[in-house]
Amino acid sequence: MSAIAMVELWRGGMLESQHLGHAVICRAGGEIAEAWGDPNITIFPRSSCKMLQALPLMESGAADTAGLTDRQLALACASHQGAALHTDAVAQWLAGLGMAETDLRCGSHFPDDRPARNALIKTDDSPCQFHNNCSGKHAGFLTLNQYLRGGPEYVDPTHPVQQAVRAATEEVAGETSPLYGIDGCSAPNFALSLHGLARAMAFFAGANPEGDLRNRAAARLTRAMAAFPEMVAGEGRACTALMRAMGGRVAVKTGAEAVFVAILPDQKLGVALKITDGTTRASEAAIAALLVHLGALDAAHPTAQAYINTPQRNWRGFETGQLRIANGFV
């Protein structure tokens, strides 16, 4: 099955650009409720799967041993802005483990948070690994690694930390990952079918907070993300804005190259989508449209309107076009 048109840019009454993609809505039992495009396409989930990567942290007992809070668990699932609230939280987390920035293996990059970025530029300072958008996930890896007494190179695909991540990912997705790639933060990213990724999100959506260890772990991670949306991304980011707009009832997570997932506990549904050209503006519009379609996001909410059928303006503020949801999608 081919990708379908999901998001379009119109200018001067003409279709200027078109973003194709695939999407799956899955029930907690694993079956597909709705799909567009090819549900069996194999993708790299990228950072959309961070709650899967955090499952071994929970299931092993490492999180409880370290006394991690829900705020820290949200950070473990984050692709954060590198704002002070994020970098300070990671620094304090590692200090509590008796570790330092040099124990991280995620690499450094300038933060997306403008005040933090400007502060570095003004002082002619360099970013550190705390600024990496994945540093919260890596703090989780280090917590698990300390509990397992593993070696320092915890991002190696053969390391016990990553083997635990792979096992949890495959079990929850209900399929064997055919391969892995190395993500921007140096950790392996295990490929899945889009259906498998949606199935995993549906498991999280249906997880019983009073159930077995895995169910309790998944339910707590979902609750943490929804309760602390500012830790999952940051101001001005779609993940944070959408979760706030839905009042903490839904957890959503973006991934690089235009992947997006959603966990809807009230409906026990999981959502996964992939825009084939990797454009973030399209994945954000598509996930917002799906959330409206499912009744989780009010179409009249300002956040929904900011991502769906959005006016495009030039540098003088004139409306020059519109980003629209394509006909035939939701």
Per the prediction, the chain carries an average pLDDT of 98
Assigned token pair, 86: 């994020």
Model-wide pTM > 0.95 = yes
Span 309-318, average pLDDT: 96
State which amino acid sits at residue 208.
N
Domain boundary assignment for the chain? 4-325
282-300 pLDDT, tens digit each: 999 999 999 999 999 999 9
Predicted confidence at residue 37, as pLDDT, reads: 98
pLDDT in tens, 231-247: 999 999 999 999 999 99
**Total number of residues shown for the chain:** 330
- Name the DSSP letter for residue 86: H
Alpha helices in 97-250 (DSSP H): 114-122, 135-148, 160-173, 194-206, 213-227, 229-232, 238-245
Angle among Cα 173, 175, 181 to the nearest 5 degrees reads 85
CATH of range 4-325; options 1.10.3470, 3.40.710, 3.30.70, 3.40.50: 3.40.710
pLDDT, one tens digit per residue, over 247-284 is 999 999 999 999 999 999 999 999 999 999 999 999 99
pLDDT greater than 90 at residue 1: no
Q: What is the pLDDT of residues 110-164, one digit of tens each?
A: 999 999 999 999 999 999 999 999 999 999 999 999 999 999 999 999 999 999 9
Q: Residue 269 class from Cβ within 10 Å (0-12 exposed, 13-18 middle, 19+ buried)?
A: buried
Summarize the confidence of residues 17-30 as an average pLDDT.
Answer: 97
Please, which pLDDT band fits residue 55 given cuts at 50, 70 and 90?
very high
Give the integer Cα–Cα distance in Å for 165 and 103.
Answer: 19
For position 248, what pLDDT does the model report?
Answer: 95
Rg of the chain over Cα atoms, rounded to whole angstroms, equals 19
Distance CA 262, CA 2 (A): 23
Residues 166-183 have pLDDT tens digits of 999 999 999 999 999 999
The number of beta carbons lying within 10 Å of the beta carbon of residue 222 is 23
Contact assessment for residue 218 and residue 226, using Cβ atoms and an 8 Å cutoff = no
Q: What percent of the chain has pLDDT over 90?
A: 100
Other CB atoms closer than 10 Å to residue 92's CB: what's the count? 11
Cα separation, 102 vs 11, in Å, equals: 49
Read off φ and ψ for residue 235, nearest 5 degrees.
-60, 135
Over residues 47-51, the mean pLDDT reads 98
User: pLDDT value at position 25?
Assistant: 98
